[in-house]
Structure 1
């Protein structure tokens, strides 16, 4: 399943009341999309939804069911009770019962100790966790990797598999691009991923070491952004290449550095706006893609006409790429005269713009 498909179905999954478990290779964005679930459900149902996070690899018995405290009952006889476990409180410091419902998210479920899997697995089915019972409206969702991913997974238990709906998340470029646009990823990162998705989603190397996943690629880009020269372009010096190797490995880092160097050879925004009909159009397809994403990140109703005049000289596929990225970032340009005129000359673009307008 694609992450965007899962996201579109979140409210329905919640309404089932069942445990949903996402499986994928490492670093595919499962946690990020589940973190959005309470806000999506709240908006759809008009309820106050909470979110509680459990980290499977660090889970201990006390984290799971709380501490057993010696005490006395009403008649003075020796007794004991369990404290509430840490996950009973959200990041807001409120207990689960303070909400209309929510998602208890058990991340890295596959790396949890076997005995604790049994405890949380029962909570996923019945809401019971030792002496505790989830308040109404709360569900348990999980995410993890497969044992074949060499990610430290422990053994799966059939009776727990039978208590949940397992969804395998695909490597999906469009879902990642959608996330990247909304998260403010630089144009270069979007263009590199679109041109080199096979690199960004490479399998783990036989010899252990850094390798690219969507997660490590994003971490690498965010790291390099801290060392730019203020122009918005990423660095490609020796230190930057060494840093990139530390995130995504030598081969992928070399490809990324070459792509970054390409950006320095492209026409500037100032040149394009000043002379959209005379400014040179890059010959390479990956350079054209990079220009389209870069312009989409800086378009507004004031400069859309010049950008359209320049991009009208590109192959049609890049006009669609630009329009999709630009209009999702700034919907004010959807109904500009420049965009309307462009659609009249480009049938493929008209279909894209019609879909974007239908989302409003």
Structure 2
């Protein structure tokens, strides 16, 4: 929705952390495969919050009442039931269980994360909304340490979302939409050891991060999740003859074919190790796709011992690729920012960094 605030992943993480520390509920919207759930998990880990993951799409409205049981009548409860069941030895009670019980007993900051809430039945959304509003499970009060967060796809994603009922939407202090960001994704990909061939391809074709289109058949279009999947397949050793067919299931046939073609470029690249050894004479490819691939391969090899030579090579590149190469080097190893070679490169390239 245009009226909602759009945030890049790094911005969402910061906004979510603020909401959690302020104990304000947040609803996160976005297309499938962006990593909404992962961001929630990462922020909870960062601030040391417990995380309860719920899936309202498989809930029944009555689940939020608890489990009905007969319990012994004690002195306190006997007064409550005396006018109805004065001679009863047991009385009915709804006991919270599982995640519901955790909501009541939480003794530290705890996030209740309702994933895919937009796919839940209207009746379930109503019940969930009451939990947020009243902060109680029957007579059991939800702990003040609990913060509610939910995520959903959008209606236009055709992922089974019929909408969020207004009563539930009104319970959230902040409603935001996650947008893809090339720089955020590259930083995350490098930190999580995705294949440098995949990272280089996404730099070359950044539009693949937001190319998701819902289809009525079983064809796929790229998403960040699908791109991550092809990196995992490569780590597992998918053979060349299966690459297009397996990658098609993750990012669609057209992009899979293109990516496999990009992989073939690597077979014809200048040797990255030779370029690093002789940066003054190392070959500079003319084709942008080749240069993206070579910069990715070089950045994976960056160390404090060879950064001086890598900077020499970067100084020979067009500004766009010089910045790309050095940024990816320090993303791989933040300690490289303390080197004299990096600081000298920053001083010499202030005009393109500002």
Matched, 1:83 2:83: no
| Counterpart contact for 2:311–2:326, Cα < 8 Å | no
| Counterpart contact for 2:26–2:148, Cα < 8 Å | yes
Write out per-residue CA displacement over residues 21-59 of structure 1, whole angstroms, 9 at most, x where no aligned residue: 0011111111111111223334xxxxxx21110023222
Q: CA deviation at 1:138?
A: 0.9
With structure 1 as the length reference, what TM-score do the two structures score? Answer: 0.85
Q: Distance in 2 between matches of 1:80 and 1:295?
A: 69
The structure with more radius of gyration? 2
Q: Distance in 1 between matches of 2:232 and 2:226?
A: 10
Q: Distance in 2 between matches of 1:8 and 1:298?
A: 31
Q: Distance in 2 between matches of 1:247 and 1:299?
A: 30
Aligned Cα root-mean-square deviation (Å): 2.3
Q: Please, which of 213, 224, 240 is the counterpart of residue 214 of structure 1? A: 224
Structure 1: 5+ residue stretches without partners: 43-48, 229-234, 353-360
> Partner residue of 1:225?
235
Shift of the 173–343 alpha-carbon distance from structure 1 to 2, 3 Å rule, reads: closer
Q: CA deviation at 1:101?
A: 1.3
> Partner residue of 1:258?
261
Q: CA deviation at 1:335?
A: 2.6
Q: How does 1:9-158 map to 2 (within 5 A)?
A: 9-42=15-48, 49-61=49-61, 64-74=64-74, 76-88=88-100, 97-158=105-166
Structure 2: 5+ residue stretches without partners: 1-6, 79-87
Report the secondary structure of 2:54's partner residue: strand
> Partner residue of 1:182?
191
Q: How does 1:315-330 map to 2 (within 5 A)?
A: 315-330=318-333
Write out per-residue CA displacement over residues 275-309 of structure 1, whole angstroms, 9 at most, x where no aligned residue: 22222111111221222232222211011122122
Q: CA deviation at 1:344?
A: 4.0
Aligned pairs, number: 334
Q: Distance in 2 between matches of 1:302 and 1:318?
A: 21
Higher relative contact order at CA 8 Å, sep ≥6: structure 1 or structure 2?
2
With structure 2 as the length reference, what TM-score do the two structures score? Answer: 0.86
